Amino acid sequence: MRITILCMGKTREGFIRQGIDKYLRYLKPYADVEIRELKEEKIADLRDAPLVRLREAERIAKSLHSGAHTVALDERGREYTSHEFASFLDRQLESGVKEMSFIIGGAMGLDEAVTGRATTMLALSKWTLTHEMARLVLLEQLYRAFTIIKGKTYHY
């Protein structure tokens, strides 16, 4: 399976970058995973949030592959336990999905143009995470899901 993680901005925190690199290595036997960091909008005023989300949505739309199962990470999405997420991922594999795109918005979140077009809406947590931290959490949960699917001992 090919997995693309589309996210706004670069990962600036070194410890998060290290964690991302670690889980990208761990995921190699299970999936071809690519992180695409798109240019994020500068935020001068919080009142500009709708415009920021819209401009970022345009960049996201241009970067999506047609035919990919798109998963928008949004607080209004469905929350899964690790086993439920593994079952979700396994169902996609069994149904013949070859490519999935996970979309992580910037500091202002995702525009309705993105969430409305997504095949699936996923919430990582009820907590608010930085968009950098969300990348790391998603990668760890993808790795955990694949180890659950394959019966490996990472998840006890």
pLDDT under 50 in the chain at which residues?
A: none
User: What residues form DSSP beta bridges with 155?
Assistant: none
Confidence at residue 43, expressed as pLDDT on a 0 to 100 scale? 87
Are the beta carbons of 137 and 40 closer than 8 angstroms?
Answer: no
Confidence at residue 156, expressed as pLDDT on a 0 to 100 scale? 63
Residue 20: exposure state from Cβ atoms within 10 A (0-12, 13-18, ≥19): buried
Confidence at residue 153, expressed as pLDDT on a 0 to 100 scale? 84
Residue type (1 letter), 33:
V
Confidence at residue 123, expressed as pLDDT on a 0 to 100 scale? 97
The two three-digit tokens of residue 128, written as one number: 């608010």
Confidence at residue 46, expressed as pLDDT on a 0 to 100 scale? 86
Confidence at residue 142, expressed as pLDDT on a 0 to 100 scale? 98
3-state DSSP percent of the chain in helix, strand and coil, to 5: 45, 20, 35
* Residue-range domains of the chain with CATH: 2-150 (3.40.1280.10)
Closest to 100 (Cα-Cα) out of 34, 27, 24, 29: 34
What residues have CB less than 8 Å from 69, skipping those under 6 apart? 92, 97, 99, 100, 101, 119, 120
The two three-digit tokens of residue 113, written as one number: 């143009």
